[in-house]
Chain A
Amino acid sequence: MKFSALIFFGASALALVLLAGCATRPPADDPEALQEFRENNDPFEPSNRVLFAVHEAIDQAVLQPMAEAYRDVLPPPVRAGIRNVLGNLRTTTILTGDLLQGNFDRARKTLGRFIVNTTIGIGGIQDVGRAYDVHGHSEDMGQTFAAWGVGEGFYIFMPLLGPSTARDLVGFGADIVSNPFTWIGQGQILDAWNYMRLGMTIVDTREALLEPIDAVRKTSLDPYATLRSAYRQRRAFEIQNKDSPAGAVAPAGGVGFGQGITESR
Chain B
Amino acid sequence: MTRVSLPRRFLMFGVFGLVTMPARAQQMDITRATAFVDKTGQDLINAINDPRLNQTQRRDKVASILRSAIDIEGTGRFILGRYVRQASPAELQEYLKLFDEIIIRNLSARFGEYRGVKFLLGRSQQRREEDALVSTLVERPNMPPFTLDWRVAEINGQPRVVDVIAEGTSLRLTTRSEYSAVIQRNGGRVAALLDAMRGQIAQLVAREGA
Contacts and interface: CB of A to CB of B under 8 A. Distances in A.
Interface of A: 32-33, 36, 40, 76, 133, 135, 212, 215, 219-222, 224-226, 228-230, 233-234, 236-238, 243-248, 258-260, 262-265
A246 B181 CA distance: 32
Q: What is the size category of the interface that chain B forms with chain A? A: 35 or more
B1 to A, nearest CB: 6
B169 A245 contact: no
Interface string B179-205: 111100100000001001100100000
13 contacts: A32-B82, A221-B178, A221-B197, A222-B185, A230-B169, A233-B168, A234-B169, A244-B147, A246-B145, A246-B146, A259-B169, A260-B146, A260-B147
Nearest to A133: B1
B135 A230 contact: no
Interface string B9-22: 00000011000000
Contact of B137 (A133, A237, A245, A263): A245
A234 B2 contact: no
B51 interface: no
Contacts of B143: 265
Given A233-B170, A233-B174, A262-B144, A247 B181 contact: no
A40 B176 CA distance: 12
A243 B3 CA distance: 10
A233 B173 contact: yes
**10 nearest A-B pairs in the assembled complex, by CB-CB distance:** A260-B167, A237-B168, A225-B181, A262-B144, A229-B177, A222-B181, A246-B147, A32-B82, A246-B145, A229-B174
Interface of B: 1-3, 15-16, 82, 106, 122-123, 135, 137-138, 142-147, 166-170, 173-182, 185, 193, 196-197, 200
Contacts of B179: 221
A33 B135 CA distance: 33
Nearest to A222: B181
Contact of A222 (B16, B138, B146, B178): B178
Nearest to B139: A246
B137 A246 contact: yes
A234 B168 contact: yes
Given A32-B82, A215-B15, A246 B180 contact: no
A259 B1 CA distance: 20
A133 B123 CA distance: 17
Given A244-B167, A248-B167, A260-B168, A229 B145 contact: no
Nearest to A39: B177
Contacts of B144: 246, 262-265
